Amino acid sequence: MGKMTTKEIVITGLAVALVFTATMIHIRLPIGQGGLIHLGNIPLFLVAIIFGRKMGAIAGAFGMGLFDLMGGWTPWAPATFIIVGLMGYAVGVISEKKDNVAGYAMAILVACAMKIVGYYIAEALIYGNWVQPVLSIPGNLIQIGVAAVIVLPIAGMLKQALRREVATIK
């Protein structure tokens, strides 16, 4: 990894803060272990699509990982750091190769699969039960579905606009 410019450091810090803040907007589920439906995937996907794999991975891992540490979900923080970091990376990689709505949709579907499998395994390991994590799948699907409905129509336009604006900042 090369050195990051000051501009990249600032944008990355803002991306982490956006993911963290949006994750704080959540509803606790009354099923399973009481997981969350939150809005953190919206800025995660937008950051990964607009700025790429590196920033997507950092924003996801640190933004949602910090939420777990500060929001009372400490046992989940290591899993979240890995799972969401990989989700951000994957969305960035796929959307870099397929820079259109279909590519973004494919990237979000891959992230959805990663979330379901990753959190299923994490929950099974944390709670020692391989059946109960099935109850968390609907919440994960809702999180990703809501994010997709919001992200897909605006990602391309935001990418063009923000890239232009960020390029002009000196």
pLDDT in tens, 119-147: 999 999 999 999 989 988 998 999 999 99
pLDDT of residue 4: 86
**Residue 163 clears pLDDT 80, i.e. is over it:** no
Average per-residue pLDDT in the chain?
Answer: 93
Residue 136 one-letter amino acid: S
Predicted structure pTM score: 0.93
- Phi, psi for residue 29 in degrees, rounded to 5: -85, 140
In angstroms, the CA 59 to CA 146 distance is 19
Specify whether the CB–CB gap between 95 and 51 falls below 8 A: no
The percent of residues in the chain predicted with pLDDT above 90, rounded, is: 79
pLDDT band for 34, please (50, 70, 90 cuts): low
pLDDT of residue 162: 82
For the record, the structure tokens of 103 come out as 């590519």
pLDDT of residue 32: 61
Pairwise pLDDT comparison (149 vs 166), residue with the higher score: 149
pLDDT of residue 37: 87
Q: How large is the average pLDDT for residues 46-64?
A: 97
- The residue ranges of DSSP E strands in the chain, in sequence order, are 26-28, 36-38
**Residue 170 clears pLDDT 60, i.e. is over it:** no
Strands 36-38 and 26-28 turn out to be antiparallel
Q: How large is the average pLDDT for residues 28-52?
A: 88
